[in-house]
Amino acid sequence: MNKYKGRGCSRRRDAATGWRALVHKMSYLSALQGMSLEQIRSVIEIMQQSSDAYMYILDLNMDIYMLAEKATKRFPFHSTVIENCTETLKKIIYPSDYEMVAADIEKCRSGEQDNHTLEYRWLDRMGRVVWISCRGTVVTGTEGHRLLIGSVSELGTKAKADNITGLRREARFRLNMESTLRDQPETVRYLMRVGIDNFKEINEKEGVEAGDEVLRELAECMIKTVDESVDIYRLVADEFMIVDTGKGEVKDPGAIYRQIQRTIAATAKNKEYSRFYTVSAGVIEGDFSGTTVEEIMRFTEFALNEAKRNGRNQMVAFDRAAYDVYLERLDIRKLLRQDVSHDFRGFEVYYQPIVSAEDYRLIGAEALLRWKNEKFGNVSPAVFIPVLEESGLIIPVGQYVLWEAARMCKKWKEYIPEFHINVNLSYVQLYKSDMMRDVERCIEEVGLDPESLVLELTESGYIETNDRIKELFKDLKSRKIDLALDDFGTGYSNMRYLKEIDAKTVKIDRTFVVQALKNEYDYNIISHIIDMVHSLGSVVCMEGIEEKEELSKMMATKPDMIQGYYFGKPTPAGQFEKEFLETTGSP
């Protein structure tokens, strides 16, 4: 005699098998109606043994809640049988979720629905937020008695919610976002990915518990800042995603971000600055139709990384054009790597003449790297050199340039004995490779006298601060290898560097020369700089002279050497030889 029969069970086929089994089992318990609460409780415990979820029976008419003992250990239920269920649940359900849950249960009670399937928050015994998934089905008895039978599972155990911050996790974000993007992409206003600056440092220096505390604190700051309609998820490690799906008031994400910053600062102040951290954010707004979750993850990650690259503690809006440049750089990096590993395929060293300002005779050349490939054609050094530097590939490529240039110089000295070759050096080579050994080996094996080699270094703040670099300069000097301070006038332009690196040559950059050609003030500065360089015992090479008029005007500032299109553009070795050396008649 079955007194209870399940209804509406088929609506969700994936409903927890736990309650299905429970209902099934109970339907054979003919004596159920006559069972004591204690007996029903035992049934729950038996069923519970085979599940991680917390089994429950809610008597909708009597307002009695019976649940597995395991649940009472984790959540503040005073007993496994709760008679005044509504009052108790009010304390356990996260306050702002309560109304939604109560309304759903009411529908089960009134007969409007037979299923209860909701995700919401409970508070555990420590008062911490725990995301749960509550599923149940109404079972009706002969006298219209309604029981809701089901289970509660913690989303955290399925990596869908995070018990440190009480927020839902990436898996849940992806699921929710997928359906929003599919069904109502127009409702999405913005997504903001927030990351803690230096989180790794906090974990390493203060321990994982301190890290967890910061995560919890930040989650609270964000919850305080956005309104209830805005969702917050915890992604990997120290990153969060704020999602505005247009349910509340329109708010500018920039203002939200600044408010989060202020709340963090205020919290730090309240805690007497025992710990201080900042956050960066990457935000994406606009039209989301046709956008996938994967794209959102990549775009927001890119914007957040930009914020961190730009110095942290700031928000950056996703910029499609910048992202495309970034993708192109990744592509370039891949191609560069392939070409380097194929014996420097696509690379070539060009040479640009350097003439004496005295009589415009050829005295040397600067080795300038070129790279071309099928996909991009000729790529500018301004694009590929930074990629080589970032990837460390500048170390093998720099060696390749050094060897090529040294060999050519050795050959060309047969035409012009005083010929010297200038090779550009990157700071990455200085920091991360044994430059001194490479240079020594090269000049020795090629048989080039060290005075013929000039290493060009861009002026920058590194020189001042790095002792290892200073040491290297001394070593180079002691081996009679000259240094040139490149791009003077574009950066720090500090005469102190000259002294620090004891550079024999200062190369004045074309941008500075162009300024000087346009206005008298810059012209006078260049003139004074050249005087100063001379008084320090160094010489000046003026770069970027393109026209005859430019030459005559700049000659009055008394440079020692000139390099520019007027005397010759960078060309391949063979052409350089033909154009500039064979004409000299020897060897």
Only segment of 106-114, 126-134, 331-339, 538-546 that touches ligand C2E (CB under 6 A):
538-546
Site membership for ligand C2E, residue 385 (CB under 6 A): yes
Site membership for ligand C2E, residue 570 (CB under 6 A): yes
Binds ligand C2E by CB under 6 A, chosen from 88, 424, 557, 571: 424
State in angstroms the smallest separation of the CB of 405 from ligand C2E.
8
Closest CA to 543 of 572, 566, 509: 509
Site membership for Mg ion, residue 306 (CB under 5 A): no
Residue list 427-456, contact with Mg ion (CB under 5 A): 456
Q: What is the dihedral of CA 336, 341, 345, 349, to 10 degrees?
A: 80
Residue 225 in contact with residue 160, Cβ under 8 Å? no
Only segment of 301-309, 315-323, 391-399, 423-431 that touches Mg ion (CB under 5 A):
423-431
Number of alpha carbons in the 13 Å side-chain half-sphere of residue 492: 14
Only segment of 135-143, 193-201, 243-251, 537-545 that touches ligand C2E (CB under 6 A):
537-545
Binding letters toward Mg ion, positions 498-527, x by CB under 5 A = ---------x--------------------
Only segment of 185-193, 217-225, 304-312, 374-382 that touches ligand C2E (CB under 6 A):
374-382
State in angstroms the smallest separation of the CB of 367 from ligand C2E.
6
Closest to Mg ion by CB, 148 or 365? 365
Site membership for ligand C2E, residue 546 (CB under 6 A): yes
Binds ligand C2E by CB under 6 A, chosen from 487, 538, 540, 542: 487
Only segment of 110-118, 321-329, 532-540, 542-550 that touches ligand C2E (CB under 6 A):
542-550
3-state helix, strand, coil in the chain (%, to 5): 50, 25, 30
DSSP string, 190-239: EEEEEEETTHHHHHHHH-HHHHHHHHHHHHHHHHHHS-TTSEEEE-STTE
State in angstroms the smallest separation of the CB of 348 from ligand C2E.
11
Binds ligand C2E by CB under 6 A, chosen from 51, 80, 300, 426: 426
Binds ligand C2E by CB under 6 A, chosen from 177, 260, 369, 554: 369
Closest to Mg ion by CB, 160 or 507? 507
Angle CA(130)–CA(64)–CA(28) in degrees, nearest 5? 100
CA distances from 82 to 54, 140, 302, 484 (A): 15, 20, 51, 84
Only segment of 2-10, 290-298, 375-383, 496-504 that touches ligand C2E (CB under 6 A):
375-383
State in angstroms the smallest separation of the CB of 541 from ligand C2E.
10
Sign of CA pseudo-dihedral 576, 582, 586, 587: positive
Closest to ligand C2E by CB, 323 or 567? 567
Q: What is the dihedral of CA 216, 219, 223, 229, to 10 degrees?
A: -130
Site membership for Mg ion, residue 482 (CB under 5 A): no
Binds ligand C2E by CB under 6 A, chosen from 368, 453, 483, 517: 368
Residue 401 contact among ligand C2E, Mg ion, none, beta carbon within 5 to 8 Å by kind: ligand C2E
Please give the DSSP secondary-structure letter assigned to residue 535. H
CA 74 centroid distance within chain: 37
Only segment of 260-268, 338-346, 371-379, 541-549 that touches ligand C2E (CB under 6 A):
541-549
DSSP string, 2-51: ---EE-SGGG-TTS-HHHHHHHHHHHH-TTGGG--HHHHHHHHHHHHTT-
Residue 362 contact among ligand C2E, Mg ion, none, beta carbon within 5 to 8 Å by kind: none
Q: Bridge-partner residues for 242, per DSSP?
A: 192, 232
Grouping H, G, I as helix, E, B as strand and the rest as coil, residue 86 is: helix
Closest to ligand C2E by CB, 195 or 398? 398
Q: Do strands 420-425 and 362-373 pair parallel, antiparallel, or not at all (unpaired)?
A: parallel
Only segment of 156-164, 466-474, 477-485, 557-565 that touches ligand C2E (CB under 6 A):
557-565
Task: Give the DSSP H/E element, type plus range, for residue 580.
Answer: none
Residue 426 contact among Mg ion, ligand C2E, none, beta carbon within 5 to 8 Å by kind: ligand C2E
d(CA 104, CA 98): 10
State in angstroms the smallest separation of the CB of 349 from Mg ion.
13
Residue 568 contact among Mg ion, ligand C2E, none, beta carbon within 5 to 8 Å by kind: none
d(CA 100, CA 123): 16
Between the two ends of the chain, the Cα-to-Cα distance in Å is: 116
Size of the site for ligand C2E (CB under 6 A): 24
Residue 282 contact among ligand C2E, Mg ion, none, beta carbon within 5 to 8 Å by kind: none
Binds Mg ion by CB under 5 A, chosen from 244, 487, 550, 560: 487
State in angstroms the smallest separation of the CB of 508 from Mg ion.
8
Task: Give the DSSP H/E element, type plus range, for residue 432.
Answer: helix 427-432
Tokens of 197: 């600056």
Q: Bridge-partner residues for 116, per DSSP?
A: 136
Residue 381 contact among Mg ion, ligand C2E, none, beta carbon within 5 to 8 Å by kind: ligand C2E
Site membership for ligand C2E, residue 544 (CB under 6 A): yes
Binds Mg ion by CB under 5 A, chosen from 486, 498, 561, 571: 486
Burial, 371: exposed, middle or buried (Cβ in 10 Å; 0-12, 13-18, 19+)? buried
Interhelix angle 435-446/467-478, rounded to 10 degrees, is 20
Residues near ligand C2E (CB under 6 A): 352, 368-369, 380-382, 385, 398, 401, 424-426, 456, 486-487, 510, 543-546, 563-565, 570
Site residues (CB under 5 A) for Mg ion? Answer: 424, 456, 486-487, 507
